[in-house]
Amino acid sequence: MRIWKLGFVICVWFLLFAVESCLCRFMVENINLKVTSSSEDLKGSYKCALANFGIPRYGGTLRGLVKYPKENQEACNNFTDVSFKPDNPGALPVFLLVDRGGCYFTNKAWNAQNAGVAAILVTHETDDLITMDMPEHDPNATYLQNLTLSSVFITHSLGVSLKKELEKPNPILVTLDWTEALPHPDERVEYEFWTNTNDECGLKCDNQLNFVKTFKKVAQTLEQNGDTRFTPHYITWYCPEEYTSSDKCKSQCINHGRYCAPDPEEDFSKGYTGKEVVVQNLIQACFYKVANESGKPWLWWDYVTDFSTRCQMKEHKYDQECAHEVIKSFGVDTKKIDECVGDTTADTENAVLKAEQHAQIGSGTRGDVTIQPTVVINNRQYRGRLDNKAVLKAICSGFKEGTEPALCLSYEIETNECLVDNGGCWSDKVTNITACKDTFRGKVCECPVVNGVKFVGDGYTHCEASAALRCQVNNGGCWEGSKEGRNYTACIGDHTKGCECPSGFKGDGVNSCEDIDECKEKKACQCSKCKCKNTWGSYECNCAANLFYLKEHDICISAKDVNTSDGWGFAWVFFGLIAIGVVGYIFYKYRVRRYMDSEIRAIMAQYMPLDGEVEVPVTRSHGDI
Ligand SMILES: *[C@@H]1O[C@H](CO)[C@@H](O)[C@H](O)[C@H]1NC(C)=O
Ligand SMILES: *[C@@H]1O[C@H](CO)[C@@H](O)[C@H](O)[C@H]1NC(C)=O
Ligand SMILES: *[C@@H]1O[C@H](CO)[C@@H](O)[C@H](O)[C@H]1NC(C)=O
Ligand SMILES: *[C@@H]1O[C@H](CO)[C@@H](O)[C@H](O)[C@H]1NC(C)=O
Ligand SMILES: *[C@@H]1O[C@H](CO)[C@@H](O)[C@H](O)[C@H]1NC(C)=O
Ligand SMILES: *[C@@H]1O[C@H](CO)[C@@H](O)[C@H](O)[C@H]1NC(C)=O
């Protein structure tokens, strides 16, 4: 039974044609596994290899406790009798140590995932690290879609040390670290998508199409904003010269055996041929070239999704005519595409496909591209399922920290670390406002902005609405009440914090403010001729006939010479005068002399300075007098 593969399937096919040139420099993508344990020997960082399935956590980390099952150590059977689910919230997830062999890697992963394991560490007999991949033809492959746990391959020696340490009662804590899985040198990410127009290869093809459809919008936004530079690529092989006239090469290659693709059904007698696949690949590559030259490389995503919908193999529409229809619908010049495709029967090179064959060969940190579909980000191969969110996460981790585009910080790629206890961040029990923010790198504790009000604080133990608008959110956490058609609040907008009962009330301002009975407490309206009546938040004071109550100064004054018919009219004149006084001293004096008779001046002079030696108090609260 083939239990693992290293892209050998394609290599073997390649060997068929070009034995001497198949070097297949396959690159195993590693990440760090940090072991924290009481044993000094075991402590440290180890390399481990990423699997090409499951949902990777590029940019993030995952911590857990290592366990090694007593039975079923290869994890080829289900773990119905054991559960590795963390038993209480906040408990660390389990990383299961699993021996290689007995079944597909994906079977081990699936059994472990169903038992509540967060990651599997697969170990074997040597210290070579390999990339675990999905089986090419698993009849029960539907579960592959649901495989989400992280899988890594560790060395034999680390496996042995872990097992030895597990015999002791000490827990072993490990951290898988994807933060440095991809280089992130600058504020632009270069990435490649190695794909294929073949739509009849089962699960892999369905995954690929699904990825293109779900990732399109994000890819186009990133490209249009200049955050990424994307290039699509197509793998082709060539037919060795001595076989160019064979039927096999003729049906699978174009340009006299120079560019070939495998038969979609792996059956030469039916359906479409490899030749037709190469032609469609070439048309897509040319479409990208032409679109890129016109400054709109993102049109490629539209073309590919539309082509895959309109020109399917199973509907017998996988041909050049259909491709032309789609090209035209984007207003792209079909002549330019035809020019780029050239004569596929001629014994000449095609510039685009020649460049594609060169690009297949790895360079620098990137190995040869042998698995497809595959994504290469900043010249490193992405490992994991082709899931739109996981790929976006990986791309996001390719930006220099702090330069990630907004898309990377959106809800789309949340890690859900805020769902449990607000991720340990500050939160307000009453309003459910939390400082926990989900990002592709995991949660961050950052005081939020709610309804435009910025909260400030450390994000962990406290956050407070900052000045100005803070009263708009939950009334700043302060008391508020309304009665008798009047509203009162203990939140003062221009204070940066705290609550204060409004005048006429007493209390802590947070939970309660109680009406002060000004009449009973002898706080106001105490003159001999006054009649006091308490109201909610205030009071009413009525003076005897011909006298008017001046609330500001809590006095009754005569207004016999003032030409007003009621107390309010007088008050209006009075307040008007105060306002005028503020506007300008001279103007004030002039108006006062003109409108106020000496008697009123005399009475008022007892209570407030009129000559300006002291500033005129414009407003004051009740308790001040
Ligand atoms: C788990 O495996 C046992 C035998 O190994 C089998 O009887 C049982 O049905 C399996 N359970 C599930 C849920 O597949
Ligand atoms: C597929 O699943 C069936 C039943 O679930 C099982 O009997 C069979 O062995 C599985 N095949 C493989 C190749 O795992
Ligand atoms: C995978 O998940 C889907 C939807 O969540 C579910 O319908 C399906 O049964 C699952 N497949 C397996 C093999 O568990
Ligand atoms: C796409 O266009 C840009 C700028 O016009 C150019 O720098 C880049 O090399 C082009 N890419 C390809 C693959 O042609
Ligand atoms: C806050 O969350 C709790 C529990 O989820 C819920 O019962 C409550 O109604 C929420 N309060 C507000 C103001 O949304
Ligand atoms: C008091 O508040 C209520 C709603 O909270 C509002 O409908 C009403 O208009 C307010 N009254 C005054 C006098 O502001």
Residues of each domain in the chain carrying CATH 3.50.30.30:
30-180
With a pLDDT cut of 90, the percent of the chain lying above it is 32
Biggest distance spanned by C-alpha atoms of the chain? 125
- Residue 467 confidence (pLDDT): 64
**Which of 321-325, 562-566, 568-572, 621-625 is predicted most confidently?**
321-325
- Ligand nearest to the Cα of 482, by number: 6
Q: Kindly give the distance from the C-alpha atom of residue 135 to the centroid of ligand 3, in angstroms, as a whole number.
A: 19
Q: Are strands 173-177 and 30-36 parallel, antiparallel or unpaired?
A: antiparallel
Please state, in angstroms and rounded to a whole number, the distance separating the CA atoms of residues 508 and 294: 67
Above 60 in pLDDT, residue 617? no
Q: Quick check: helix, strand or coil at residue 350?
A: coil
Tell me if the domain spanning 523-565 has CATH number 2.10.25: yes
- Residue 621 confidence (pLDDT): 32
Which pLDDT band, with edges at 50, 70 and 90, does 414 fall under? low
- Residue 562 confidence (pLDDT): 47
Above 80 in pLDDT, residue 346? yes
CATH fold for the domain made of 183-412:
Glutaredoxin (3.40.30)
Q: Kindly give the distance from the C-alpha atom of residue 81 to the centroid of ligand 1, in angstroms, as a whole number.
A: 9
Please state, in angstroms and rounded to a whole number, the distance separating the CA atoms of residues 615 and 600: 20
- Ligand nearest to the Cα of 146, by number: 3
Q: What is the DSSP string of 558-595?
A: E-TTS--SSHHHHHHHHHHHHHHHHH-HHHHHHHHHHH
> Between these two residues, 564 and 338, which has the higher pLDDT value?
338
Whether the CB of 148 sits within 6 Å of ligand 3 = no
Please state, in angstroms and rounded to a whole number, the distance separating the CA atoms of residues 374 and 53: 12
Q: Kindly give the distance from the C-alpha atom of residue 540 to the centroid of ligand 2, in angstroms, as a whole number.
A: 87
121 contacts: CB under 8 Å, gap ≥ 6: 33, 48, 66, 95, 96, 97, 98, 152, 153, 154, 159, 162, 174
Amino acid identity of residue 185, one-letter, is P
Above 90 in pLDDT, residue 303? yes
Residue whose CA is at the smallest distance from ligand 3 atom 12: 143
pTM comes to: 0.62
Q: Kindly give the distance from the C-alpha atom of residue 476 to the centroid of ligand 3, in angstroms, as a whole number.
A: 46
Whether the CB of 483 sits within 6 Å of ligand 6 = no
Let me know how long the chain is: 625
Structure tokens at 533: 């009546």
| Nearest by Cα to 446 from 427, 432, 429 | 427
Residue whose CA is at the smallest distance from ligand 1 atom 14: 78
Ligand 1 first shell, C-beta below 6 A = 77-78, 80
CA–centroid distance for 39 within its chain: 37
Q: Kindly give the distance from the C-alpha atom of residue 418 to the centroid of ligand 5, in angstroms, as a whole number.
A: 15
- Residue 2 confidence (pLDDT): 33
Exposure class string for 117-150: b at 16+ Cβ within 10 A, else e: bbbbbbbbeeeebbbbbbbeeeeebeebeebebb
Please state, in angstroms and rounded to a whole number, the distance separating the CA atoms of residues 176 and 384: 15
Residues of each domain in the chain carrying CATH 2.10.25:
523-565
Above 80 in pLDDT, residue 118? yes
Average pLDDT rounded to a whole number, residues 426-437:
83
Average pLDDT rounded to a whole number, residues 4-24:
37
Whether the CB of 140 sits within 6 Å of ligand 2 = yes
Above 90 in pLDDT, residue 3? no
Architecture per CATH, 30-180 = 3-Layer(bba) Sandwich (3.50)
Residues of each domain in the chain carrying CATH 3.40.30.10:
183-412
- Residue 526 confidence (pLDDT): 78
Average pLDDT, the chain: 80
pLDDT tens digits, 161-215: 999 999 988 889 999 998 888 889 899 999 999 998 998 887 788 889 999 998 9
pLDDT tens digits, 583-604: 555 544 545 455 444 545 555 5
- Ligand nearest to the Cα of 82, by number: 1
Above 60 in pLDDT, residue 127? yes
**Which of 277-281, 390-394, 593-597, 606-610 is predicted most confidently?**
277-281
Above 70 in pLDDT, residue 459? yes
Residue whose CA is at the smallest distance from ligand 4 atom 10: 292
Q: What is the DSSP string of 23-76?
A: -------EEEEEEE-S-TTT-EEEEEEEPSSS---TT-EEEEEEE--SS-TT--
Amino acid identity of residue 360, one-letter, is Q
β-bridge partners, 260 = 237, 253
Answer positive or negative: Cα dihedral of 181, 186, 187, 189. negative
> Between these two residues, 47 and 546, which has the higher pLDDT value?
47
